[in-house]
Copies of this chain bind each other. A is one copy, B any other.
Amino acid sequence: MNLNAADIQHLKGGYLLAALSDSEFDEVLAHANARTLAPGEGLFDQGDPATHFFFVLSGIVKLCRMAPSGEEKVMDLVRPGFFFAEAAMFMSGRYPINARGLEATRLVSLDSKHFVGLVRGNGDLCLRLLSKMSQRMHGLINEIDKLTLHSGAERVIGYLLEQLPEGAAPPSVRLLVPKHVIASRLGIQPETLSRVLAKLRAKQLIDVHDDMIVLNDVEALRRLS
């Protein structure tokens, strides 16, 4: 086993496992392994059998799909403290997307089959899972209508506001992934993202210093969302 005490504490705090008793948690741990990803390294591909689900310890995992043209669309960026691929576990057993490390990343790999067995005997955990999944579904529904109902500029502003930490003064966002990745996440081209930011800067609504963006007028931005 290659997880240290801090990792285990981290993992225990994750949404899905918080409902487990100590003995259940230990059992899950017995079927868990730490793993590292190099920048750009693939973890699994769309269509692979969904044998495991994962928890991010450090770094960032990119969940994306490939268009027939070869172009890739980023579906989600998973940060430390979050699970991913836990939904595929109950399905036909295939991952619906690709997962790859965006930078050097450490994660925990958990055995799907074993976990499903555990869930079968634990109603509370089961409900927690159901809630978690429907939460993510609402997120996806939101995503869909943002993509269809809102313009590129509105999506950019929405993303900035989402990323804004609670009481940060001055209100600012640090982009911890390259801009072209954010662009893909928002369904636009890097050039468009660049232009949108330039426009917002021209209107004095934000200041951009490299990957640090200061929101000068959160209220005004929220109105434009």
Cβ contacts A75-105/B at 8 Å (1 or 0 each): 1000000000001111100001100000000
Please give me the residue from chain B that is nearest to A132 by CB atom: B90
B187 contacts A134, C-beta separation under 8 Å: no
Q: Does A192 belong to the interface (CB within 8 Å)?
A: no
Task: Tell me the complex Cα distance, A59–B52, Å.
Answer: 41
Which chain B residues border A91 with CB–CB below 8 Å?
Answer: 131, 134-135, 138
Q: CB distance A126 to B119 under 8 Å? A: yes
Would you list which residues of chain A between 107 and 165 have a CB under 8 Å from chain B?
A: 116, 119-124, 126-127, 129-131, 133-138, 140-145, 147-150
Q: Verify A87–B187 contact, CB threshold 8 A.
A: no
Residue of B nearest to A76 (CB): B141
Chain A interface main SS type: helix
**CA of A187 to CA of B143, assembled, Å:** 13
Contacts of A144 in B (CB 8 A): 75, 140, 143-144, 147
Binds B, one of A19-27, A34-42, A65-73: A65-73
Task: Give the oligomeric copy count.
Answer: 2
On whether A134 and B89 interact (CB within 8 A), knowing A126-B119, A127-B119, A145-B73, the answer reads yes
* Inter-chain pairs besides A90-B127, A91-B138, A123-B123, 15 sampled, C-beta below 8 Å: A65-B145, A73-B145, A73-B149, A87-B133, A90-B134, A91-B131, A97-B141, A116-B127, A119-B126, A119-B127, A130-B133, A137-B137, A137-B140, A144-B147, A148-B187
Residues of A within 8 A of B (CB): 65, 67, 69, 71, 73, 75, 87-91, 96-97, 116, 119-124, 126-127, 129-131, 133-138, 140-145, 147-150, 187
